[in-house]
Every structure is written in C-alpha cells, then in structure tokens.
Amino acid sequence: MTCHRGSDEGSRAMVRSGLNATAASLLGFLHEGPMTGWDLVAVAQQRIGSFWTLTQSQVYRELAAMANAGLVTVGPPGRRDRKPYTITDEGRAAFREWLEQRPGLEQIRFPLLVTIMFADHLPPERLGAAIAEHRAIHRERLAGYEQARGELRELGNADFRLATLEFGIRYEQAVLDWFEQLPEVLPSVALADPESSTAGSHGP
C-alpha cells in the first residue's frame, strides 16, 4: 500500500510540475503503440532528431521517471531483454496538458558561429576549411530532408510531420544562403568550392 501511495504522489507531482519536452515527445510516440526504449531512441532520432536532441541516457531516464509516476507501464522483457513501455490513461492526460501549454522559445546553438566570432585567433586557412566542412554537411542534410519530404508525401496523412520537415528544409536553405554571402563579409578567408566540398564529405 505504501509503494502504491508513493507512486500516486509521484504521478501527481510530475503532472503538477509539468512534463519536459523530452518526456512529452516520448509519450507522443507511445500513442502509436508500445515501444521499447531502444525503439523510442530510434524513432525520436529519425523524426525529431533534426530539431530536438535526445540521447539514449535521457530517454531511459525519462522512461524510468514516467514509470514511477504512473504515466507509462513497463512490460516483461522481450528480445535482448528489452522491455516495452505502454502509455497509461494518466500519461495521455499529462501529454494533452503539456501539448496545450504555450511552447517555450527556441535557443539556437550553432558551434561554427562561436568559432567565427573568435576567428581572428585562427589562421584563415583553418577557418576556411571549417566553413567548407560545415557547408558540405548542410548541403547533405538538405538533400536528405528533401528526399524524406518526397517519401512522406507518398505515404499521405502526414501533414504535421511534413510541417516540421519543411522547417528543417527552410532552415538548411537559409544556412546555405548565409554561406553563399560569406565571401563578401570575409574576403580574407579562402572558401572552398561547395560542390567539391560536398563530393569529398561523407556526412557529419
């Protein structure tokens, strides 16, 4: 009885304090059916990894907290000792409550910009190489997003996923436009040809 009461108290406390976006996204995916932690990591990386970072340790930590709070249940181990998680009615209610709240503001983290900010301490050729590498990466990301957009359109009934993917496409296009005008702002930095940079890159 004591353990059950503690679980109820933990559940109410978690709902009162509000889910974080990582926990909420896991509950969102669990609406599609039971998934193991491994499944959730893979799905999250595929669907929201471009704009929301989830590590494996974060996923399992949130799942454990939500299980203690009664927002998900844990099934018996299956293949490779992986346990499936299932969203509960209380988990669905907590997810809806989170979804109805005002989203927080985004915080852009672009490490290359920090390098450029202090690039007067860096040889121009090193900066040019870093810019060329990142430019190639963003070109590859854009190509991947555009391919995914075509696949989603064929599936149909994916308007919300397409909307988030379109943001990724527009973002990558904006970044590449910024790279295009960099030579005008940084005339002292020799920038490699983007096509040759892309051809020599194999991803991040």
Domain ranges of the chain: 2-99, 111-199
- The answer to which of 46-55, 146-155, 166-175, 193-202 has the lowest mean pLDDT is 193-202
Average pLDDT over residues 82-103: 95
Q: What does each C-alpha distance from 93 to 20, 27, 98, 114, 141 come to in angstroms?
A: 14, 10, 9, 41, 36
- Burial-class residue 33 by CB neighbours within 10 Å (0-12, 13-18, 19+): exposed
Question: How many Å is the Cα radius of gyration of the chain?
Answer: 22
Reduced to 3 states (helix: H, G, I; strand: E, B; else coil), residue 12 is: helix
Q: Report yes or no on whether pTM surpasses 0.85.
A: no
Whether the per-residue pLDDT at 201 is higher than 50: the answer is no
Tell me if the domain spanning 2-99 has CATH number 1.10.10.10.
yes
Reduced to 3 states (helix: H, G, I; strand: E, B; else coil), residue 84 is: strand
Q: What is the pLDDT of residue 158?
A: 84
Whether the per-residue pLDDT at 81 is higher than 80: the answer is no
Whether the per-residue pLDDT at 98 is higher than 70: the answer is yes
63 falls in which pLDDT band (50, 70, 90)?
A: very high
Whether the per-residue pLDDT at 1 is higher than 50: the answer is no
CB 41 within 8 Å of CB 90: no
Average pLDDT over residues 106-128: 92
CA distance 89 to 93: 6
pLDDT tens per residue, range 18-44: 799 999 999 999 999 999 999 999 999
Whether the per-residue pLDDT at 87 is higher than 70: the answer is yes
